[in-house]
């Protein structure tokens, strides 16, 4: 199988800030009868007293107004504000969004919200938005601890700042030799991690962020207190600093009674070196880390891109759509397009045969509103002498789109650039699922001919990457035909389960995952069980990915079945998909 080499545009998010005025006002009418003193006052004064619009609101009235507005916000708009963008929306934007009076205004606000952050405003794609939802998905996959990963501190930092350049991880804690600036000496620690960023925009170079798991339950929280990871800090005569071990203050009274954010105690060797001021530096760092990132574009009109769908002689291609949960109100929809090399017109020059294909995609609602578009020019290169041998090969293009649950229409048009009249069109409805938080859910069950874990640099970006896994789906020639594998290939499958029950006492899940291979008659050929604690003990979300050798299977039709039995929520769910062994 050959691959497309894509022409990608690398952009860097810049800085800026937008101030948006509130567009709606909630007025409260005063229906109480006027008092005697009010009845004797001039008419103009009565009007001012009776009509709150004619006088400034008190702090109490303003708070009540904001509370009522927040109560009115429901459904996907409440989820969008509180679960999808809470870390990147500015105070001014939040205030403006809460003041909107109807869903049409909210839809327009959300569209403009993302467009203001679009690093390529003239492009139908929005790399910032797509990357944001990929980070949420990764956080849910890796940082859940009795709560969704996006709510955890590590998840929040990852969503806002991306993957660190390096991680110093100590998942079991253990012996820790303090550097002299922390007082020296040896102690034992709780589990902790230090994330290092070489550079963060608006913060600076060589930024270290520390997370500590003091409950030892997988819930790492952000801290600016480097002594918080010290498991022996409150234990008498244990984990002493160098100064304490010299019997100056072996009872730790100097350290624990000294006040301040950190409790390192007296350290004459560092006297006058400004260690106290570093506490203020860490407070400032925390404020910058958790502040919403600046907006690159201050003000942009609503961006509308209209694409004319091409028509002409048929250019056949196959399409597969999958669904992966990002948040309760947002899914990631990977779209895989498969083109046979034989259907592409190749032009040979300097010993290289090149085919060029334009791809245009559009997702619209049932009310014909465009919600997503993508447009790419891709190339298929082959050495001229090998072209004939590779015409029966297939090439894949992959695009992942964030979409809210609901019904949509997906339209795709492709054009053979070397033969402009050679055009293909695809149109079909897609039903993006809603994953309810009190009900078990599952992603698509994806069968792939190649699957592997990617490096930290590739996480959340690139073709065929979902979370930290490269997975290249097999695409069927039509929706009713199973995908096929050869006996010398591995059968790879990937899927996720969502909303597992969490035990309140242990902060852990308790479920069993079973996967099976059955033949056309329903006979079980292979069956294995996995315990949820081995896949992510403290997460309400599990990822199942397996690679199976199918050399022992006879040619024929089979089915993969993956199911989960949740002992805490007393629910079961299963996914299955057929395949053929050639």
Question: How much is the pLDDT for 2?
Answer: 43
Question: How much is the pLDDT for 1?
Answer: 45
pTM above 0.75, yes or no: no
pLDDT band, residue 267 (cuts 50/70/90) = low
Contact 413, 40 (CB under 8 A): no
Task: Give the model confidence (pLDDT) of 330-360 as tens digits.
Answer: 899 999 999 999 998 899 988 899 998 888 8
Alpha-carbon distance values, 137 to 36, 152, 416, 464, 514 (Å): 63, 13, 35, 15, 24
Q: Name the residue among 461, 481, 485 with its Cα closest to residue 473.
A: 485
Q: Name the residue among 570, 581, 407 with its Cα closest to residue 487.
A: 581
Percent of the chain with pLDDT over 90: 33
Question: Under CATH, which architecture does the 436-582 domain have?
Answer: Sandwich (2.60)
* Average pLDDT value over all residues in the chain: 79
Question: How much is the pLDDT for 308?
Answer: 42
Q: Do domains 305-434 and 436-582 have the same CATH topology?
A: yes
Task: Give the model confidence (pLDDT) of 41-83 as tens digits.
Answer: 444 444 444 454 556 667 666 666 665 555 566 788 888 998 9
pLDDT band, residue 31 (cuts 50/70/90) = very low
Q: Name the residue among 334, 326, 358 with its Cα closest to residue 422.
A: 358
pLDDT, average across residues 549-572: 94
pLDDT, average across residues 85-102: 84
pLDDT band, residue 258 (cuts 50/70/90) = low
Q: Is 484 left (phi over 0), alpha (psi -120 to 50) or beta?
A: beta
Question: How much is the pLDDT for 179?
Answer: 85
Question: How much is the pLDDT for 120?
Answer: 75
The yes-or-no verdict on residue 13 having pLDDT over 60 is no
The answer to which of 8-17, 159-168, 443-452 has the lowest mean pLDDT is: 8-17
Instruction: Pick from 36-45, 153-162, 351-360, 374-383 the range whose average pLDDT is largest.
Output: 153-162
Percent of the chain with pLDDT over 70: 77
Q: Coil, strand, or helix at residue 466? A: strand
Task: Give the model confidence (pLDDT) of 495-542 as tens digits.
Answer: 999 999 999 888 899 999 999 999 999 999 999 999 998 888 888 999
Residue 120: both structure tokens together: 């390529």
Task: Give the model confidence (pLDDT) of 193-238 as tens digits.
Answer: 999 998 888 888 889 999 999 998 889 999 988 888 888 887 877 8
- The structural domains of the chain, with segments of one domain joined by +, span 14-129, 144-289, 305-434, 436-582
Question: How much is the pLDDT for 309?
Answer: 40
The yes-or-no verdict on residue 164 having pLDDT over 50 is yes
Q: Is pLDDT larger for residue 20 or for residue 57?
A: 57
Residue 79: both structure tokens together: 């989820």
d(CA 250, CA 254): 9
Task: Give the model confidence (pLDDT) of 400-454 as tens digits.
Answer: 999 989 999 888 888 888 887 788 888 888 999 998 888 999 999 999 989 998 8
Question: How much is the pLDDT for 17?
Answer: 29
Dihedral of alpha carbons 69, 71, 74, 80, sign: positive
Residue 559: both structure tokens together: 């089915």
Residue 424: both structure tokens together: 């293909």
pLDDT band, residue 558 (cuts 50/70/90) = very high
pLDDT band, residue 244 (cuts 50/70/90) = confident
Domain at 305-434, CATH homologous superfamily: Immunoglobulins (2.60.40.10)
């Amino acid at each position: 199988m050959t691959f497309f080499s894509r022409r990608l545009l690398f952009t860097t998010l810049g800085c800026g800030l937008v101030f948006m005025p509130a567009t709606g006002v909630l007025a409260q009418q005063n229906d109480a009868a006027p008092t005697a003193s009010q009845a004797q006052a001039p008419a103009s004064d009565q009007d001012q007293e009776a009509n709150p619009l004619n006088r400034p609101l008190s702090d109490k009235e303003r708070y009540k107004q904001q509370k009522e507005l927040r109560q009115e916000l429901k459904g996907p708009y409440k989820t969008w504000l509180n679960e999808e963008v809470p870390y990147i929306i500015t105070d001014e934007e939040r205030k403006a969004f809460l003041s909107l009076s109807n869903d049409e205004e909210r839809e327009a606000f959300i569209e403009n919200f993302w467009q203001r952050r679009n690093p390529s405003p003239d492009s139908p794609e929005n790399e910032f938005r797509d990357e944001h939802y990929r980070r949420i998905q990764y956080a849910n996959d890796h940082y859940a601890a009795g709560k969704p990963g996006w709510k955890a501190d590590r998840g929040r930092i990852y969503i806002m700042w991306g993957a660190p350049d390096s991680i110093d991880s100590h998942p079991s804690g253990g012996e820790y030799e303090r550097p002299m600036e922390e007082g020296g000496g040896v102690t034992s620690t709780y589990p902790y991690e230090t994330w290092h960023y070489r550079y963060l925009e608006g913060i600076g170079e060589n930024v270290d962020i520390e997370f500590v798991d003091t409950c030892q339950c997988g819930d790492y929280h952000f801290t600016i207190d480097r002594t918080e990871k010290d498991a022996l800090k409150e234990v008498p005569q244990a984990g002493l600093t160098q100064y304490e071990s010299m019997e100056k203050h072996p009872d730790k009274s100097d350290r624990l009674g000294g006040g301040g954010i950190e409790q390192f105690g007296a350290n004459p060797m560092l006297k006058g070196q400004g260690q106290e001021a570093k506490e203020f530096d860490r407070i400032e760092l925390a404020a910058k880390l958790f502040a919403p990132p600046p907006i690159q574009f201050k003000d942009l009109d609503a961006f509308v891109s209209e694409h004319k769908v091409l028509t002409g002689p048929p250019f056949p291609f196959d399409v597969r759509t999958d669904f992966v949960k990002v948040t309760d109100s947002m899914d990631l929809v990977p779209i895989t397009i498969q083109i046979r090399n034989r259907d592409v017109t190749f032009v040979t020059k300097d010993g290289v045969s090149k085919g060029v294909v334009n791809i245009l995609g559009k997702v619209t609602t049932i009310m014909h509103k465009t919600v997503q578009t993508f447009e790419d020019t891709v190339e298929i290169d082959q050495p001229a002498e090998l072209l004939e041998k590779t015409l029966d090969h297939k090439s894949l293009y992959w695009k992942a789109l964030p979409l809210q649950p609901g019904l949509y229409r997906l339209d795709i048009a492709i054009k053979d650039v070397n033969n402009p009249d050679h055009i293909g069109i695809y149109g079909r409805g897609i039903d993006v699922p809603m994953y309810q938080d009190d009900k078990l859910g599952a992603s698509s069950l994806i069968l792939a001919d190649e699957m592997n874990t990617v490096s930290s640099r590739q996480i959340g970006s690139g073709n065929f990457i979902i979370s930290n896994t490269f997975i290249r789906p097999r695409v069927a020639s039509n929706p009713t035909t199973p995908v096929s594998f050869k006996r010398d290939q591995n059968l790879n499958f990937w899927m996720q389960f969502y909303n597992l029950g969490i035990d309140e006492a242990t902060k852990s899940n308790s479920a069993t995952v079973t996967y099976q291979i059955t033949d056309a008659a329903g006979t079980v050929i292979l069956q294995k069980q996995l315990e949820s604690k081995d896949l992510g003990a403290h997460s309400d979300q599990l990822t199942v990915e397996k690679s199976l050798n199918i050399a022992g299977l006879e040619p024929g039709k089979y089915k993969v079945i993956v199911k989960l039995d949740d002992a805490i929520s007393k629910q079961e769910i299963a996914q299955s998909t057929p395949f053929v062994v050639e």
